[in-house]
Structure 1
């Protein structure tokens, strides 16, 4: 190694030592100045045990006042709808199996139910008693929450008829299997008694299940075109929906009545300009409408307006002009159904009625 290389190496070592000594001195000065501030141990708030969180109501109130809590509208509305749905479950309308695990479990504990829920021919509803928030709420398959109890409910009746005793037996057995898997307590109502109630409920529903139609036929030489019908319907607040009919929606978002093609050919946006219609029908689904008597009055007014603007006539099912006397008789029949449903505690247009008449 030459003298020049030795000299350069010495210079490099000296520079490194100088930097090291300077950094050490700076750190010593920093610790001397600020070290006292860190001698007391501070707990990391992110890892503070949950049991140490404040539980005093007055303190919680102060925290809520200091920091406004925002709830997303969808979350708030969803919570409301869930509670309302669970409140509808009743032994008169559903077969309800109650499963109570020894400790809170998640929705994945009901895997067997999620796999078979469409095998019973009627709607299946699941509600859980929330371990954290309390109260019954709808349970979905991918819910991240834990529950201390479940209600598995099989609806007894819809417009296709009553649930069969065989399906009730299958549902009962499924609930029993789930409870056995969880080593949980279970309450299983009697299947035979429930089957009798289902038949009785179906008989009642069939007796009040009324669909009222007012037909609108064009006058001689008058042709009803799809575009013209759509224009007039939309002027009166009816909107074309996926079922091929124009619907008038009430304040709750439910159909008050609908306007359809008399021969059931659906209206479609892309074919309106090619469609020629022989007649129209306004339909009122009595059990599914709030205050159906008043709804019928509104439908009659609308039928007259549509008939006038389309140069048509209001007729009955036999294509005979509908008289005031006939309209009065129809309204009386609707009022009788409305009263009968109220007497049986199934209010026309209520959430309970809409699910039974679906």
Structure 2
């Protein structure tokens, strides 16, 4: 190989390395700006929460349709079968794309730090950040620094409930608090959620949280303000009692004459719009990513692509997690409709946990009970499937 060829190869390699390095720099710069504008990555309250659990993590309460007496069964045979209307689902709308603004020649160039502040400065963004901490759900401690303070590391709190931190920068902007060089805070608000499916926070847990927050404030020469503990504890216990009354998981069992082949089940479920999720269940999802209903094996064996290829399933269960579903009764109607489609496709019966056949009247009664539950939630100001509901029933 001549010196010219070697030189061309070296030059080509250098150009490729330069282009690769520039692309890596651009990606790093974009990621840095995105994280600063929209906060550090963390669990999404709408997506990364346990599904199909019930309170205390072990409770197995399910609202099951009960077989009606003979007289009612005869009435059903005489009347039209219960076939709920299936209106279009109310899905969460996708946000419109933001308009792209091209800089004019006479507009001064804004540096990266100023762009980050401008991204956080919108009223909508500020409202979203502040709304992450909800006084009706959270115990919120306010840590106020005597001078704008840069945090070397974010504090961690050893408590059994969900915690969140937001901070007000020296420019007065609220953002999810994180330790970034050059970012100084006037105030940090630290919240602990007081109620979830494991129950309400205890007095000992709340005291431990307050001690840890006080220690953090003392270490940074800051003042700290707490809400009245007893008032918050009383409110949390009352909220937990309400949640226990409406925390219902409906299960409809589909029992075929012969076991269902996994490959055929997967094909049918996917054609109906369900998709297999990492938890081993088929989920029908809203546009928001929240589960509307799910399909599992009755014996709780997780579905996997491997088991769906070479196994058969003697029974299935359709699950409807009542307080976590936006759309309420309309979605329940669709879930029942899908259960009936499964029964027709696989020559199966719909039964309760005692293997008693579910009648149309029984399903109609459950629907009426759902109307009552959803009415109670609306009266309480906790809309089914809302951010508050997803947090409380996680």
| Other-structure match for 1:164 | 202
Q: Residues 183 and 199 of structure 1: is their aligned pair in 2 closer, same or farther, counting only changes over 3 Å?
A: same
Q: Give the TM-score normalised by structure 1.
A: 0.73
Q: Residues 306 and 106 of structure 1: is their aligned pair in 2 closer, same or farther, counting only changes over 3 Å?
A: farther
| Other-structure match for 1:38 | none
1:11-67 superposed Cα distances (whole Å, 9 cap, x missing partner): xxxxxxxxxxxxxxxxxxxxxxxxxxxxxxxxxxxxxxxxxxxxxxxxxxx995446
Does residue 188 of structure 1 match 2:226? yes
Partners in 1 of 2:204 and 2:182 — Cα distance?
A: 33
Partners in 2 of 1:144 and 1:124 — Cα distance?
A: 24
Partners in 2 of 1:143 and 1:243 — Cα distance?
A: 38
- Structure 2 unaligned runs (5+)? 1-100
Please tell me whether the aligned partners of residues 296 and 316 of structure 2 are also in contact (alpha carbons under 8 angstroms): yes
Q: CA deviation at 1:181?
A: 2.0
Partners in 1 of 2:126 and 2:251 — Cα distance?
A: 34
Q: CA deviation at 1:282?
A: 0.9
Q: Residues 82 and 164 of structure 1: is their aligned pair in 2 closer, same or farther, counting only changes over 3 Å?
A: farther
Of 359, 366, 381 in structure 2, the residue corresponding to residue 330 of structure 1 is: 366
Does residue 131 of structure 1 match 2:143? no
| Other-structure match for 1:23 | none
RMSD: 2.8
Q: Residues 165 and 230 of structure 1: is their aligned pair in 2 closer, same or farther, counting only changes over 3 Å?
A: same
Does residue 95 of structure 1 match 2:139? yes
Q: CA deviation at 1:88?
A: 4.0
**How do 1:176-255 residues align onto structure 2 when only pairs under 5 Å count?**
176-219=214-257, 222-255=258-291
Partners in 2 of 1:215 and 1:292 — Cα distance?
A: 20
Of 354, 357, 362 in structure 2, the residue corresponding to residue 321 of structure 1 is: 357
Q: Residues 109 and 231 of structure 1: is their aligned pair in 2 closer, same or farther, counting only changes over 3 Å?
A: closer
Partners in 1 of 2:376 and 2:188 — Cα distance?
A: 34
Partners in 1 of 2:324 and 2:288 — Cα distance?
A: 12
Q: CA deviation at 1:235?
A: 0.7
Q: Residues 81 and 259 of structure 1: is their aligned pair in 2 closer, same or farther, counting only changes over 3 Å?
A: farther
1:154-173 superposed Cα distances (whole Å, 9 cap, x missing partner): 10011111111111001111
Report the 3-state secondary structure (helix = DSSP H, G, I; strand = E; otherwise coil) of the residue aligned with 1:102: strand
Q: CA deviation at 1:140?
A: 3.6
Of 152, 160, 180 in structure 2, the residue corresponding to residue 108 of structure 1 is: 152
Larger radius of gyration: 1
Q: Residues 86 and 218 of structure 1: is their aligned pair in 2 closer, same or farther, counting only changes over 3 Å?
A: farther
Q: Residues 326 and 167 of structure 1: is their aligned pair in 2 closer, same or farther, counting only changes over 3 Å?
A: same
Please tell me whether the aligned partners of residues 101 and 185 of structure 1 are also in contact (alpha carbons under 8 angstroms): yes
1:317-346 superposed Cα distances (whole Å, 9 cap, x missing partner): 222222111111111111111111111111
- Structure 1 unaligned runs (5+)? 1-61
Q: CA deviation at 1:107?
A: 4.0
Q: Residues 104 and 347 of structure 1: is their aligned pair in 2 closer, same or farther, counting only changes over 3 Å?
A: same
| Other-structure match for 2:159 | 120
1:194-215 superposed Cα distances (whole Å, 9 cap, x missing partner): 2222211111111110111111
Q: CA deviation at 1:270?
A: 1.6
Q: Residues 223 and 201 of structure 1: is their aligned pair in 2 closer, same or farther, counting only changes over 3 Å?
A: same
1:192-237 superposed Cα distances (whole Å, 9 cap, x missing partner): 3222222111111111101111111102xx2212212111111111
Q: CA deviation at 1:276?
A: 2.0
Which of the pair is proportionally richer in helix? Answer: 1
**How do 1:79-90 residues align onto structure 2 when only pairs under 5 Å count?**
84=128, 86-90=130-134
Q: Give the TM-score normalised by structure 2.
A: 0.67
**How do 1:139-158 residues align onto structure 2 when only pairs under 5 Å count?**
139-140=177-178, 145-158=183-196
Please tell me whether the aligned partners of residues 259 and 315 of structure 2 are also in contact (alpha carbons under 8 angstroms): no
Q: CA deviation at 1:123?
A: 0.4
| Other-structure match for 1:278 | 314
Partners in 1 of 2:299 and 2:213 — Cα distance?
A: 45
| Other-structure match for 2:392 | 356
Number of residue pairs aligned between Structure 1 and Structure 2? 285
Partners in 1 of 2:370 and 2:338 — Cα distance?
A: 18
Higher RCO, 1 or 2 (CA under 8 Å, sep at least 6)? 2
Q: CA deviation at 1:279?
A: 0.8
Partners in 1 of 2:181 and 2:364 — Cα distance?
A: 51
Please tell me whether the aligned partners of residues 150 and 179 of structure 2 are also in contact (alpha carbons under 8 angstroms): no
